[in-house]
Chain A
Amino acid sequence: MSTNRSSRRNRIILIVIIVLCVTMITMYARESDSGPIHKVQDVFMDVISPISSGFSKVFKPIKDGFVNVFRLPTLARDNAELEKKVDQLRRENIEAVELEKELEELKKLLNWGEEHPEMETVGTDIIAQSPDNWQRLMVIKKGSSSNVQKYMAVVSASGMVGRIISVGTFSSVVQLITDSRSGVGARVQRSRETGIIEGMNSDVLRLVPMNEEADLKVGDIIETSGLGGTVPAGIAIGKISKIKKRTEGLSELVEVEPFVEFSKLSDVLVIITPEPESVILKGTQ
């Protein structure tokens, strides 16, 4: 008797939970970015950010221990320094090639007065990452109080990291370029072929060229094209690691290895100006 009553109670509780979840899912899907659940999410992130940041610091030795489990501490330190130097040299090299290309274009146009627009950035820590396996997101410690807005580009010393997709007062969510929902306008530095860099929820990216006969080679450096208006042009993304020829009728699969090592990322820069076009348009409405 009491077992029957208990199992009926269990079923009722499960039904209540399911109804509650379905209601929340529906409400969230129907409301705008300024809706009540979105606001609750923003407030929650603002509250959890400092706690998560502290937690992250407390558990840093465990994180580092796991990453360096097979390395001696000195080797890990040396390696980090070397990687930093390689990143710097690579960045300088990319910048030099980029300047050379720009110079050529400027020469052709006989427009020596054109100046490269300076980007204003704001530096921040990463305080949390996506809790599930199906999204590549991270939370940063800067929000609307630091002039961060939706769709702004996020970069590191190595290159493009992602874009802001949600903004709280003191924290924001960044969608990484490796997220399968991410698409960023890109171009090949050598041949200037354009395309879209898409995430695949893995450590590599996919380049979808605009032109089926695009001039692409393994090792080509990919950078942002600026097309689409959300990310400034000329930010390094990665290099082509594999080109798989497909059968007739299908475009080739171009894999790009990003320069940014997302698992080791701790500090990033948000590009405040130039503002994404979508933000400017929103402001004028």
Chain B
Amino acid sequence: MSRKRQAILGLFIITGFLLQISVVPHLQLFGAKPDILLVLAIVVAIQDGPTAGAATGFIGGLFQDMMSPGYFGVSALTKAMAAYMAGLLKDMTITYSVLLPLIITFALTFFEQTVFMASVAILGQEGIPPFALLDVFISSVYNVLIVLLLYPLLKRLHFETKDKSMVLSDSHVKQVERDLQ
């Protein structure tokens, strides 16, 4: 990943975090809200690979943990794991269908929320909220809507910030053509 893309992702993480704490709470539907940072991590994992996704999820989760007294480190862990799995799923799937990011986002939001609750339960946190399946479902659908906006945006930036070393020059192309002949 190029430095420029890393910087852009850093900006996306900070903006996503600020939106998550200031604007997103007002977009609740039936008590559930989207998770911009999770969607960002999943999109990065699909486009840049599992490690980049896990790192994005870890940093984004850590930001969220800073604002959550009681569960420090849990969001960082669950988001990193979900993003890593998104990257692996993408690598294992041979398809260019536009549905893939949507399905992965839906499934891994469900996974992330479940693991989050399980981790909190294992930690013995008092007054654990009841695991609301409807909330998780609405959150997952919400995240799918976010991915529709975020995926094309980051994909576009992905090409614009691609390493020049990765792009074949004209002389390379000619060399390959000669070799093929």
Contacts and interface: CB of A to CB of B under 8 A. Distances in A.
> Counting chain B CB atoms within 10 Å of each CB, which of A9, A135, A166 scores highest?
A135
A9 B22 CA distance: 37
A139 B67 contact: yes
A24 interface: yes
Given A52-B18, A137-B68, A165-B69, A131 B24 contact: yes
| Interface size of B as a range | 35 or more
Contacts of B31: 133, 201-203
Interface string B25-53: 11110011101010000000000011100
Contact of B72 (A37, A63, A139, A263): A37
Contacts, number: 153
A72 B65 CA distance: 38
| Interface size of A as a range | 35 or more
Contacts of A165: 69
Nearest to B132: A201
Interface stretch (B76-84, B146-154, B164-172): B76-84
A17 interface: yes
B8 interface: no
| For the complex of A and B, 4 pairs with smallest distance between CB atoms | A181-B127, A129-B25, A21-B77, A24-B73
Interface of A: 9-10, 13-14, 17-18, 20-22, 24-25, 28-29, 37-38, 40-41, 44-45, 48, 51-52, 55-56, 59, 62-63, 66-67, 127-135, 137, 139, 165-166, 173, 179-183, 200-203, 263
